[in-house]
């Protein structure tokens, strides 16, 4: 059975990106081989991805989950029907207004692997609905002060159990189980 995870790199104050969507703060930080090993472990277990479609329902450079490094099915939430798109060995499936269905399809595709939820809106929706099993957060040592938040507006109290924490050159890596 697949495990549904929120997988994100965030700032210490909980932002995924700058207000304009910029993520330049993620790059150029020192790293150690152990940092890469943590990320590689997560990446090797992901069997499907759920995210949000852009307004034109295209797959454009800069919008491809994990930069196209993962060749797993991607399920994109949208408000209007669209045929699947195949690009560079990845199938992008569009699911209309039903996050439960998107997660169900992704879990089926992932088998015993992990379903990675991308973005604040998708992650919060799934947390509210009780669809998330774990949080996998890579926390960068920077405060943006403002930006796109991962959890702001969640509107629900959720208890977590710490599964693993580690820190090496720059980022702290946190893994929590969502308690139900």
How many whole angstroms separate alpha carbon 60 and alpha carbon 54? 9
| pTM strictly above 0.85 | yes
Position 138 confidence tier, pLDDT thresholds 50, 70, 90: very high
Asked whether the predicted pLDDT for residue 59 surpasses 70, the reply is no
pLDDT on residue 61: 55
End-to-end CA distance of the chain: 17
Asked whether the predicted pLDDT for residue 58 surpasses 60, the reply is no
Q: Hey, what CATH topology would domain 3-22+29-149+160-178 get?
A: Dihydrofolate Reductase, subunit A (3.40.430)
pLDDT on residue 70: 84
The DSSP secondary-structure symbol of 2 reads -
Instruction: Identify the burial level of 61 via C-beta atoms within 10 angstroms of its C-beta, where 0-12 means exposed, 13-18 middle and 19 or more buried.
Output: exposed
Instruction: Identify the burial level of 20 via C-beta atoms within 10 angstroms of its C-beta, where 0-12 means exposed, 13-18 middle and 19 or more buried.
Output: exposed
Asked whether the predicted pLDDT for residue 62 surpasses 60, the reply is no
Domain range list for the chain: 3-22+29-149+160-178
């Amino acid at each position: 059975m697949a495990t549904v995870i929120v997988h994100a790199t965030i700032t210490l104050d909980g932002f995924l990106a700058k207000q304009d969507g910029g993520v330049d703060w993620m790059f150029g930080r020192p790293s150690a081989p152990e940092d890469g090993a943590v990320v590689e472990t997560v990446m090797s277990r992901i069997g499907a991805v759920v995210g949000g479609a852009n307004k034109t329902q295209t797959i454009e450079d800069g919008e491809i989950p994990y930069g196209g490094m993962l060749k797993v099915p991607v399920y994109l939430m949208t408000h209007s029907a669209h045929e699947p798109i195949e690009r560079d060995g990845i199938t992008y499936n569009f699911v209309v207004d039903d996050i439960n269905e998107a997660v169900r399809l992704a879990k089926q595709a992932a088998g015993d692997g992990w379903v990675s939820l991308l973005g604040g809106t998708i992650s919060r929706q799934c947390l509210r609905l009780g669809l998330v099993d774990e949080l996998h957060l890579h926390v960068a040592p920077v405060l943006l002060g403002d930006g796109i938040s991962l959890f702001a507006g969640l509107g629900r109290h959720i208890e977590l159990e710490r599964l693993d924490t580690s820190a090496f050159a720059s980022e702290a890596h946190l893994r929590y189980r969502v308690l139900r």
